[in-house]
Amino acid sequence: MSNEPSINVDHDEAGANIEHGDHENAYSGLLVNDAHWAFGTDFEDPLAGVDTTVPEGVDPKDLAAYCLMLGDDALVFSQRISEWCSNAPDLEEDIALANIALDLLGQSRLLLARAAAADPGLVPQLPEGSPVPDEDRLAFFREDLQFRNVRLAEVPNGDFAEAVAKILIYSTWRLAIFERLQSSRDSVLSAIAVKGVKEMTYHRDFAGRWVLTLARGTDESKTRLLSALDGLWPLWEELFETHPTEASVAAAGIGVDPAEVADEAGVILDQVFAAAGIDRPERGVLAGVRGKKGRDGLHTEALSKMVADMQVVARQYPEGRW
Amino acid sequence: MTTQVNENQFDEAQLEGQFASTIKAKDRIEPRDWMPEKYRKTLVRQVAQHAHSEIIGMQPEGNWISRAPSLRRKAILLAKVQDEAGHGLYLYSAAETLGTTRNELTEKLIAGKQKYSSIFNYPTLSYTDVGTIGWLVDGAAICNQVPLCRTSFGPYCRAMIRVCKEESFHQRQGYELLMTMMRGTDEQRASVQESVNRFWWPSLMMFGPPDDDSPNTEQSMEWGIKTHTNDELRQKFVDMSVPQAEALGVTFPDDGLKWNEERGHYDFSTPDWDEFWAVVKGNGPCNEQRLAHRKRAWDEGAWVREAALAFADKSAAEEATK
């Protein structure tokens, strides 16, 4: 990586500099704009100040379609993980899962905003004068069949073993892709990947440790882990299938062909399984419909319900200001 | 007062004298200092109740994470609910310095033997409630908690400084959400007013029963665990909130609310204390739902906590044989 355009990342260092001053006025905090809150919770446009010019020789429509795929993966998976909030086995895991969901949500916002900037034609039309920003039009005003995420991301939540197994699989796959994407010719995608690599290294580590713990913990935890991996495994292959859009952005030097990272991701997963003393599940691949799968907008039944829930308030106020 | 004392060397009267002079000098009592048993018990009760409130308080707002109408608002809400889990963690840790454990306290909560703030027994019926809770409920909580940053027990006092700082940020975000919605459509403005109407009275009840009906206040003030009476704080909250409501463009549902030149405070009507006691005694709109949710999450996580302990034991045993 020679040039790394940076996107402002506010890592949570809450409490690092707490002053013992005047705490009397409950409203004094309304006026300060501290920089240490979670990414994406401030009042800025996510791509503020970033050059969004599409690099030469790249079809903006391909770039946008590709960003939508990656953005939908992150959005849908974040939505699922956030369902864990207040439901985790203990407070530490509740906080960790929320962190992962927040990281993915941040990635999806950048990717959706990038998609909209590259191809405004992709963005759903709303009534004249609607203040809804592009990232939200894409997230809340597309139909479920227009979502391009891989089907793994939408699998309904199971138990905690299912959560860590799914995060391990997703982050192992996505990290391998993002490591390459860091050298994308598109400076925005490259910056998103640089930020994402740091985040997903932690996600993979969190999930890997728990897979190890559950595999070697009790009989029950091992049984649950094996059953979770078994249930998810049919979706493993789909992660590495090349969609024509991915082939074309890879050829243009702005995207990554997922098939290229299949071996690498498989080796890493096998290392975790070996350390945990468990075997790779042996399951058939989950079929699509006439070959169409998540990347083509062909999903499982679970997605439309999830999307309906996610979009309900936004659609109630198509001209709403948030 | 941080020197460790051997209880056998002093008689009770001497210890009490030292304790009283520490309180009088407004110094901190630290975990290894001698303290009267009733002081310890009162503190455990208060800190536990506060910790439980943070954890139960994740639910009403968590109810809207999946449906937040913009991605930025989703990030803000998820980060806020995550902060509440974090507050619960520090407060349980503060309680643990008094000789109890998080597990023990959680079991008591689930068994209904310890309370949490009654405000969380009210339902969140619209996404707008997220903003109202931030503004009024967090605002009331800050009024209650700011004086605790100077409370006599060191660990509690230090936890509160951090909690208050984050709460004031949440309050600001809630107020900012309502402000933004007031600049939106008529439907949004109506929704803000409707939500404020529902939360105003329960927010006033957050300061507890009137002073002449609050049996623990006197002793707690003497010990420096509490520094203001319920009615003092309630008045302060009303005085601060009225100008905020005017700036926002909403009204509070109280015909008796008006400025009293003589007192230099706003007069306001009496909250419905029958409703307050009904909710405290378990008959609020969501008491059963909140406890059942917490119990389910705790019970469903039992196998994970057991696996983590078993894994730690096995790892320690392996380490020992190396």
In this predicted model, what pLDDT tens digit does every residue of A144-172 receive, in sequence order? 999 999 999 999 999 999 999 999 999 99
Q: How close B43 gets to chain A, by Cα (Å)? A: 22
| Record: contact A23-B161, CB cut-off 8 A | yes
Q: How far apart are CA A237 and CA B137, in angstroms?
A: 48
CB atoms B71 and A108 under 8 Å? yes
Taking contacts as CB-CB distances below 8 angstroms, the residues of chain A near B162 are: 14-15, 18
CB contact under 8 A, B70 and A140: yes
- Give chain A positions within 8 Å (CB) of B167: 29
Q: What is the pLDDT of residue B321?
A: 85
Contact between A221 and B304 using a beta-carbon 8 Å cutoff = yes
- Which chain A residues have a beta carbon less than 8 Å from that of B185? 317, 319-321
Rounded distance between C-alpha atoms, residue A296 and residue A69, angstroms: 9
**Is residue B218 predicted with pLDDT exceeding 60?**
yes
Nearest to B301 among A40, A82, A160 (CB): A160
Least Cα separation, residue A161 to chain B (angstroms)? 8
Q: Which pLDDT score, from 0 to 100, does residue A47 have?
A: 76
Contact state of B314 with A23 under an 8 Å Cβ cutoff: no
Contact residues on chain B for A89, CB-CB shorter than 8 A: 297, 300-302, 304-305
Using the beta-carbon criterion (under 8 Å), do B72 and A40 form an inter-chain contact? yes
* Residues B140/B203, Cβ–Cβ less than 8 Å: yes
User: In B, which residues are within 8 Å of A135 by CB distance?
Assistant: 71
**What is the rounded distance in angstroms from the CA atom of residue A215 to the CA atom of residue A212?**
5
CB B62 within 8 A of CB A86: yes
The residue of chain A with its CA nearest to that of B138 is A26
Query: Looking at this predicted complex, what is its ipTM?
Result: 0.93
| pTM over 0.80, yes/no | yes
Confidence of residue B4 (pLDDT cuts 50, 70, 90): low
Q: pLDDT (tens digit, 9 = 90+) per residue, B223-260?
A: 877 778 899 999 999 999 999 999 999 999 999 999 99
The SS3 assignment for A318 reads: coil
Asked if the C-beta of B143 comes within 8 angstroms of chain A's C-beta atoms, the answer is yes
pLDDT at B134 over 90: yes
Q: Count CB pairs under 8 A between chains A and B.
A: 216
Average the pLDDT over each of A46-55, A93-102, A177-186, B1-10 and give the range with the smallest value: B1-10
Chain B contact set for A160 (CB, 8 A): 300-301, 304
The C-alpha of A181 sits at a distance from chain B's nearest C-alpha, in angstroms, of 24
pLDDT for position B153: 92
Q: In the prediction, which pLDDT does A24 show?
A: 45
Out of B66, B173, B176, the one facing A310 most closely (by C-beta) is B66
| Portion of chain B with pLDDT greater than 70, in percent | 97
**Tokens describing residue A188:** 């925005």
* pLDDT at site A35: 46
Cα separation values, A244 from A37, A258, A259, A294, B106, Å: 39, 11, 12, 13, 53
Average pLDDT, chain A: 89
Chain B segment 98-117 residues within 8 A of A by beta carbon are 102
For an interface test with B, the pick among A90, A108, A135, A312 (most B C-beta atoms closer than 10 Å) comes out as: A90
- CA neighbor of A153 nearest in space, from A310, A314, A303: A303
- For B80, the enclosing helix (H) or strand (E) is helix B71-96
| Cβ atoms of A306 and A155 closer than 8 Å | no
Report the pLDDT averaged over residues A108-136. 95
The CA distance from A33 to A119, in Å, is 33
In single-letter form, the type of residue at position B221 comes to M
Interface test with B, best of A12, A30, A42 (most B CBs within 10 A): A30
Round to whole Å and give the CA distance between B118 and B277.
Answer: 9
Cβ–Cβ contact A220 with B under 8 A: yes
Please indicate if any CB of chain B lies within 8 Å of the CB of A265.
no
